[in-house]
Amino acid sequence: MTSTFPCRLSRPGVVCSLGSDLETIADALFSGERHLPLSDAFTPGRALPLGRVDEPLPDASAWPRDHRSRNNRLLALALARLSPALEALLARVPVERIGVVIGTSTSGIGETEQAIAASGHEGALPEDFAYARQELGAPARFVADRLGLEGPCYALSTACSSSARALASARRLLKSGQCDAVIAGGADSLCQLTVNGFASLDAVSAHPCLPFSRQRDGINLGEAAALFVVTPEGGGVQLAGIGESADAHHISAPRPDGSGAVDAMRQALAMAGYDVDDIDYLNLHGTGTPLNDSMEAAAVTALFPTPPACSSTKALTGHTLGAAGALEAAFCWLTLARGRLPLHRFDGDYDPDLAPLPLVLAAEVPARAPRRTLSNSFAFGGNNASLLLTLTDDA
């Protein structure tokens, strides 16, 4: 039994610390290549591993003032990588029937930080400053304006599950008949607010993060943009199931028993019509913090009597926050398209106090090509989301 509603995910447009070309990204993903260089750009005097994007980004100087942000420059590059699918879409679907849903947490806050630094505590803000850049809906408006779209357009900000929920929202827009296609995904850029905010929680590691290790001591942060064209069509890679829950246990700490996470995964399985034994790969939220990894290991083993192969790709890219859900959905898309499993990078010292998980520790072609993947995104406030992707026979 499988989901009766078709929801096709196009080849994604992605930019992250691994690159912006899918071939380059796939090579790093399946070989476990980390891109987390040390930088004190946001924490002077304290160098931290950061998944910064080194790719040249589009020039924003000629854009409308409200659109000039690093977040939108990341999105513009992701859109450029998505251009074949976009060209085909715009040729056959009216612009008023195409929606936009973007997940983010920072939007253009980095540009506001720069403006305040330039003006000082008492000076006037620079003439080219635009507060609208940091409004959470700004990335969605940018995508719609850049493509001339007139359908539903909005942003979601549920911290680290934002863009996973954006993809879930895209599926609902299609199923309800409000749209014939949706551009969906997420973007987040590094800034002082984010890096120092997580540092103030003692949540960042001074070393490359070690998800599920006995020695894990925090996250690494990163930035990214990842976009899909989502359509109600069969074939290819399908977003077959979505699961969402809000356990509201604590403003930042996860619910220790993982019940909200279990609920999200169970919903995704039920919608897609699959059993736990049908999943070939699980992309873990896997931040590398003591509480998150403990909760997720408990949740996965509570739901799966025999868990599937799994890994945390945040050890390669850093935690890209509002972009993470869409970025890791893109990694699952590559997993299905290439028949490979993303490598889990850590020190090899699995925490014996955690429920055991079958981490992907060797860069090998699996004996059975993966056909169904599950991707977890668990956020502050207990905002949980799971996405189930499947590869159809005619892909």
End-to-end CA distance of the chain: 19
pLDDT score at 2? 53
Annotated active-site residue 250? The verdict is no
Which amino acid, residue 2?
A: T
Q: Which of 30-39, 324-333, 386-395 has the lowest mean pLDDT?
A: 386-395
Task: Give the chain's domains with CATH numbers.
Answer: 9-391 (3.40.47.10)
Annotated active-site residue 249? The verdict is no
What digits encode the pLDDT tens for the residues 223-259? 999 999 999 999 999 999 999 998 877 666 667 787 8
What's the mean pLDDT in 361-375?
A: 93
Q: Which of 100-104, 286-290, 378-382 has the lowest mean pLDDT?
A: 378-382
Annotated active-site residue 160? The verdict is yes
According to the per-residue pLDDT averaged within each range, which of 59-73, 117-131, 368-382 is highest? 59-73
How far apart CA 220 and CA 17 sit, in angstroms, is 12
pLDDT score at 3? 56
Task: Name the pLDDT band for 1 (thresholds 50, 70, 90).
Answer: very low
- Under a CB-based contact definition with an 8 Å cutoff, are residues 389 and 370 in contact? no
- Cα dihedral: 26, 30, 32, 37 (round 10): 0
What digits encode the pLDDT tens for the residues 269-309? 999 999 999 999 999 999 999 999 999 999 999 999 999 99
Mean residue pLDDT of the chain comes to 94
More confident residue, 121 or 228: 228
Encoding tokens for residue 149?
């779209």
- The sign of the CA dihedral 156, 157, 163, 169 is negative
What digits encode the pLDDT tens for the residues 45-90? 999 999 999 999 999 999 999 999 999 999 999 999 999 999 999 9
Percent of the chain with pLDDT over 70: 97
Burial class (CB within 10 angstroms; exposed 0-12, middle 13-18, buried 19+) of 281? buried
What's the mean pLDDT in 35-52?
A: 97
Encoding tokens for residue 278?
């049908």
pLDDT score at 235? 96
DSSP 142: H
Q: Which of 384, 380, 378 is nearest to 245 (CA)?
A: 384
pLDDT score at 394? 59
Task: Name the pLDDT band for 364 (thresholds 50, 70, 90).
Answer: confident
| Catalytic choice (35, 67, 319, 344) | 319
pLDDT score at 90? 96
- pLDDT at residue 121 is higher than 80: no
| Catalytic choice (7, 16, 153, 160) | 160
| Catalytic choice (285, 310, 332, 344) | 285
